Amino acid sequence: MAKVKKIGILTGGGDCPGLNSVIRAAVRNANKKGIEALGIKNGWKGLIDKETVTLDTNSVSGILPKGGTILGTSRTNPYKKEGGVNRVKENFKGLKLDALIACGGEDTLGVTSKLCKEGLNIVGVPKTIDNDLSCTDYTFGFDTAVNIATEAIDRLHTTAESHHRIMVVEVMGRHAGWIAVHAGIAGGADVILIPEVPIDINNVCELLKNRRNRGKCFSIVVVAEGAKFKKGDVVIQKERLDAFGHVRLGGIGQMLGDKIEEKTGFETRVTVLGHIQRGGTPTAFDRVLATRFGVKAVEMILNGKFGMMASLQGNAITEVPLDKAVGKLKTIDMELYKISEIFFG
């Protein structure tokens, strides 16, 4: 391809620890190669509305440990807005972009994959605390979320033991139980419930009763927000769909806690971690992974690897086709879940 002079960077979907690390790395790598970097504000909405900010070494200085994204984000889907795709194409050309780096999860990168097929030069960077994107061992943001959830579980252990209570901890995980399993194992949870395995409430209560019979008068139950009971649906906060067809989940923890208390008679309390898992400073692991992804994204552009996504394979950063990465969600490794079951009850 012709010499790259100008690239854009956008962050879409839910905010995530490590996004600023990607932005910083991509800008620094681009600038060192004589390439101008332009920030697209608020995800795809910014490219539709032509909202931008110039990015250079000074503007990205000091953002490495900062959570969230300095570019802002949104759940805007150009394919759901009248004329959205055409405006994206027009502004891409009008801003004189040679290429674009899109940081996001299944929804943002799903749009990216479609736009690539329509002729736009875009590469993807995998971002989600849920770790449910295929074709990459880990997404940045996941390690931070797991550490936050683990610390919360550690703290709940002491109050649960003091009051002889069951503590139900609801963590994020719409379709996949990666956070629940990793944080549950690390935090010593007594039961872990995930979207991939329907909840058998009788089995859960039996495990808790057996534990109480052994003299353990408290228990920790970790449940992913997308988990559901046998012959039941996911629990939602709102029926209204977002631009990508998702309802807002939430409430499984309270429903589970009520059922446990009703069936066992054990005092039960519920803690919903929610957006706490997404906020704050990223861990060292996520900073390094996001930095490597940001550097790789610029290299992919220079090598004309459009329609591809940066990926962690073992300890190597490589690239994979975007349509393959977003074609199927990566659900929990059931071998890992079976390990966690050894410690149930």
Mind listing the domains of the chain with CATH numbers?
6-140+282-325 (3.40.50.450), 142-279 (3.40.50.460)
Instruction: For residue 121, give Cα distances in angstroms to 6, 31, 98, 114, 332.
Output: 12, 19, 7, 11, 32
**Whole-angstrom distance, CA of residue 143 vs CA of residue 273:** 15
Least Cα distance to 195 among 242, 238, 132, 105 occurs for 132
Rg for the chain, CA atoms, rounded:
22
**Whole-angstrom distance, CA of residue 214 vs CA of residue 208:** 10
Using one digit for the tens of pLDDT, what is the confidence trace for 145-199?
999 999 999 999 999 999 999 999 999 998 899 999 999 999 999 999 999 999 9
Q: pLDDT at position 214, please?
A: 93
Q: Is 200 a catalytic residue?
A: no
- Beta-bridge mates of residue 224: 171
Least Cα distance to 242 among 30, 75, 29, 15 occurs for 75
Instruction: For residue 31, give Cα distances in angstroms to 23, 282, 296.
Output: 12, 24, 14
Q: pLDDT at position 155, please?
A: 95
**Whole-angstrom distance, CA of residue 188 vs CA of residue 185:** 5
Q: pLDDT at position 86, please?
A: 94
Q: pLDDT at position 250, please?
A: 61
Low-confidence ranges of the chain (pLDDT < 50): 246
Chain center to CA of 187: 20
Chain center to CA of 126: 9
Pairing mode of beta strands 52-55, 36-40: antiparallel
User: Could you write out the three-class secondary structure of the chain?
Assistant: CCCCCEEEEEECCCCCCCHHHHHHHHHHHHHHCCCEEEEECCCHHHHHHCCEEEECCCCCCCCCCCCCCCCCCCCCCHHHCCCHHHHHHHHHHHCCCCEEEEEECHHHHHHHHHHHHCCCCEEEEEECCCCCCCCCCCCECHHHHHHHHHHHHHHHHHHHHHHCCEEEEEECCCCCCHHHHHHHHHCCCCEEECCCCCECHHHHHHHHHHHHHCCCCCEEEEEECCCCECCCCCCEEECCCCCCCCCEECCHHHHHHHHHHHHHCCCEEEEECHHHHHCCCCCHHHHHHHHHHHHHHHHHHHCCCCCEEEEEECCEEEEEEHHHHCCCCCCCCHHHHHHHHCCCC
Predicted TM-score of the model (pTM): 0.91
Neighbours of 119 (CB within 10 A): 9
Instruction: Kindly name the residue from 15, 49, 56, 130 that is annotated as catalytic.
Output: 130
